[in-house]
Amino acid sequence: MSRSEQIQLHRRRFLFGLGAGVAASAVAFPAFASRKEETIILGAGNHKYEWVRGWGKLPESMKWGSTHGGVVVDSQNHIYFSTDADSNIAVLDADGKYIRSIGKEWRPDKDGNGTHDMQLHKEGKQEFIYLVSLFRNEFAKITTTGDVVWVKGFPEKSGIYKAKTEFKPTGITVAPNGDFYVTDGYGANYVHRYNAKGEYLNSWGGKSSKEKEDGKFSTPHKIIIDRRGKTPTVLVTDRANHRLQWFSLDGKHLKTVDGTENDFLRLPSVLSIRGTDVAIGDLAGRVTILDKDNKLVTQIGDGPDPKKRATNKVTPDQWVDGQFIAPHGISWDNKGNLYVSEWNLAGRVVKLKRVK
């Protein structure tokens, strides 16, 4: 590599904050990516994405509100974003055009804590959305048009809670056999398991000690079923401990990936799996992609200013295309594009269009 090429590479890494260990030489950036007319390409290897400028418009009469929620994509490539606005769940098409809003009964309370996470699950020929609500201290199953199938309260049978207000669910996922799992990430730091009928089965976890004991948590924020191996497992983001933990379907600890070394994981907040790859929304301002062996492929959109990471108060006039602030929801679609919602008071949603 020539001296001039090296200078350009270092400049690009500074502007876009690629993490240590990422194959930055494989990332194509325009020389002046800050210009609106330029295309921003992020990523490395087989994971290169275009940051689609200005994607995701609501009608003039609507506002996003705080996007302190999740993202799911249905079989028609319709994208559902849960927000803390009155619409609660806004549905867009792949071009960013508004389709409809659903779930108004799940709109937030006065403190702005609405639907915190969603998981889309296909049952037969129909798709359903499983969601958790912070302000209602409940979780539910609804249709993609918003009709309520059932609502569940706090897991009283676990014996962990004295009152429902102590239960503050942040994540939900569904196993192949229909069992589903709810994380109490902002409450007692437990994972709760139910069968397909909604009957309580068991719980595990609890608050992690300073030694970060395996099987314990400090903010088990998001949960997902990992089907990349021979047997499905339960994968949990142990956010405040900067790590991921895997469990058997009945709750036995299997392994831990610690992200504290070399800035590998930085407040892992949310997950999406496609094929053998995992996309992780690091709340501290970037998207991390791991391969089938949970090795780092690339880190996307890492801004240079630590003060603009993991905060919901960065105003739209300070947003920079190509740089994340606080990814809180993430999902791949069936074409390999990524959709990200950020923990932001004004509401920020991003499409990363797969280019390789």
- Let me know: does 140 contact 131? Beta carbons within 8 Å: yes
pTM: 0.88
CA distance linking residue 339 with residue 333, whole number of Å? 8
Give the pLDDT confidence score for residue 159 in this predicted structure: 96
Among the ranges given (32-46, 83-97, 253-267, 280-294), the one the predictor scored with the smallest mean pLDDT: 32-46
Which residues have C-beta within 8 Å of that of residue 36, sequence separation ≥ 6? 53
CA distance linking residue 189 with residue 149, whole number of Å? 27
Closest CA to 9 of 273, 21, 23: 23
Q: Looking up tokens 């014996």, which residue turns up?
A: 159
The whole-chain average pLDDT of the chain stands at: 89
Closest CA to 169 of 221, 244, 128: 221
CA distance linking residue 342 with residue 134, whole number of Å? 17
pLDDT tens across 240-280, in order? 999 999 999 999 999 999 999 888 999 999 999 999 999 99
Q: Residue 328's pLDDT band (boundaries 50, 70, 90)?
A: very high
Give the pLDDT confidence score for residue 111 in this predicted structure: 66
Joined together, the tokens standing for residue 263 give: 């800035």
What is the pLDDT averaged over residues 36-52? 92
DSSP 3-state assignment of 157? helix
pLDDT tens across 215-231, in order? 999 999 999 999 999 99
Give the pLDDT confidence score for residue 112 in this predicted structure: 62
Give the pLDDT confidence score for residue 36 in this predicted structure: 52
